[in-house]
A and B are shown apart, each in its own frame.
Chain A
Amino acid sequence: MVKMSVEPVQVMSGQVKELRVAPSSNGDSRGSWEGKEEFDGGSLGVTAKPKQVTGRRARKVEGGVFFPKPENAVTVAVSSRVLFRTEREQKVFEQKGVEEYLRYQIEHETEPFAPGPAFAFVKALEAVNTRLRELYPQSEELFDIVLVTYNHAHVGIRLINTINHHNLFIERFCMTGGSSPIGYLKAWHTNLYLSADADKVREALAEGIAAATMFMPEKMTEVSESQLRVAFDGDAVLFSDESERIFKAHGLDKFFEHERENEDTLLDHGPLKGFLEALGKLQKKFYAKGQRLNCPIRTFLVTARSAASSGIRALKTLRAWGLEIDEALFLAGAPKGPMLEKIRPHIYFDDQMFHVEGAAEMGTIAAHVPYGVAQHQQATKK
């Protein structure tokens, strides 16, 4: 491998006046949503009867839209297996079949599931919503979280009990009882779909919906409760996999040559570009109200490209798309795990399982985007 600068280089988006070095020392301000009542997570006093959770309704935020029209909102669809931990139930399903699985679920209906890999991400989305509603009470430009699961409706009551227990604001569901959820994703104008099932994710990507597979890491490092932090890989995630193809086919030298020659040609877009765009739109709403310094959304690019060379094309492309990314980290091939551990994103999107696993080992919640040329090969070190 060509030895470039070993230090990962951070490049800030051009508009920020201050130069920051440590990624963690920004915008962790305490917003008013932190005054909301915390549900007593220890009590399992959840019964089969629908619980009138008055505590949840008494949020400090007065006005605002709570049920935006799907086409106006940034819709995030999550499956039950990534929102919650359902390993035990999965095992029952795999070992004993669907009838026994459903019987088990109904038997344990009053036991809430534990949080899954997407849980912290969803909580962070809600935190952003609270801030948005304060500033724009009439606006429908909010995150809208929909539970889209091919689970059978017999599991519905347990899922709803769990949502109540964790005080999540999820009011929209599709429980398709076994049929494909993909059609419903489109009907909900889904901007991002998170699932544990790689096949469903691939189907969604094929339909042009940003999607990623999530896995339960052994440990999950603590993430911010007040600021949504989303990290993206570059090639085959934000950008197309065209450059990766060159690298895989012809090696690193050819890759650098190609990038240099095409520095002024924009990269084609990748499956997560639209979601970054949606985040950017919401960020601008905070900037417009003078909230740039404590914006509750922060985005990161974490790429193996190098700042001095191949990274330039990436930045130019983002700029041409009108997308700002708050921090761009050019690792020049260095492992991503340690950097991600410092960033502590709520979610990190990468097209290569190798990086996803590496991140998870260090406690980062990583999601796999099964797109592009990397899927046809064994996971190899880049």
Chain B
Amino acid sequence: MASSCYGDALIRRIKEKASKWIYRNPVPGPDGTHLNHHLPKSGLRKKDADAVVVAVTSDAVFDPGADEGDAFRVGLAFPLLQALQRVNERLLEQNPSESLLFDIILITTSSQRQQQSSQIMRSTRHHGLEVGRFCFSSEDNFLESLLENNVQLFLSTDRNETSQASQRGVLSALLDQRAASSPSEQLRVLFCGDTVVQPNAAGPMSTIQHDAQSFPAQLGKMRQRFGMLDSPLVIILMVSQGGRDSCSSALQVLRSCGVGVDEAYCLAGAPQSPILSLLHPHFLLSDDFGELEE
């Protein structure tokens, strides 16, 4: 089944706060709702370009095993979505016409989930999640959906999926149990500073210096909208193998690309898990992702 991406009626709630969201394929929803009747597309193209498109798999957002009656139970990415929403809320509080916001896509990556579109949308509404768009794709075409939708960050619990996406040039991060215990009021993004640049894959350190519109660069811009204290977005650097020179380099590279780091941890070979368990990152961005110890 070909993938179809379209927004959901609950987007109206976001629209009360901001009128940024546009839909690429304005198709009537399964229950016949017309989805973007109140937004002229043309006037918003420019602003849409500022949105930071983040795609999260449905298996990360909803617990694949369970379901409480009508709706799925929330999965480990739930605090992450709440934190992304919180950042948007705070950005809009400061500037109601803010255009640099997270545009959240919920994407399915298997034919099984692809068939469960209405249940997924219902679950999203049930849990009060503010998803910008849904993409009901299968394992065969989710990569195309990511590219078509200009996804800047892809988050999944499946290592295979993140690996594939990364090979296609989409910045990806693997979500794990740690994300479940991360805060819902503050988005904590961890950059891993030991860089091993893989030629084909996309990584934060390799892309950041070349692409001013990259996810890290935009994240840095977002961070600057807030002060030093009480920011809903916190950027963390961890250097696990290197020492202070690696740490200093990483801080300077990030700074030169507009990414100000809030917290920095330099391990010089010390075990990572005790430190990681205190950091509570929602996700980690690393050029050699997947090499971090569990």
Contact = CB atoms under 8 A, between A and B. Distances in A.
B262 A50 contact: no
A35 to B, nearest CB: 23
A152 B228 contact: yes
Contacts of A223: none
A171 B251 contact: no
Nearest to B263: A177
- Among B260, B261, B262, B270, chain A packs the most CB atoms within 10 A around the CB of B270
B268 interface: yes
B260 to A, nearest CB: 7
A70 B271 CA distance: 8
Contact of B244 (A48, A154, A171): A171
Contacts of B228: 98-99, 102, 152
Interface in B260-285: 260-271, 274-275, 277-278
A175 B229 CA distance: 15
Q: Interface SS of chain B: helix, strand, loop or mixed?
A: mixed
B213 to A, nearest CB: 24
Contacts of A113: none
B247 A156 contact: yes
Contacts, number: 84
Interface in B197-250: 227-229, 234, 237, 243-245, 247-249
Interface of A is mostly: mixed
A153 B261 contact: yes
Contacts of A91: none
Contacts of B234: 177
B150 interface: no
Nearest to A67: B269
Given A173-B247, A177-B234, A187-B278, A98 B265 contact: no
Interface in A174-218: 174-179, 183-184, 186-188
Given A153-B261, A183-B278, A173 B229 contact: no
16 contacts: A50-B252, A67-B270, A98-B228, A152-B228, A152-B262, A153-B262, A153-B263, A157-B255, A160-B248, A161-B248, A172-B270, A175-B265, A177-B262, A178-B229, A187-B275, A187-B277
Nearest first, the 7 closest Cβ-Cβ pairs linking A and B are A171-B243, A187-B274, A153-B264, A177-B263, A171-B268, A177-B262, A153-B261
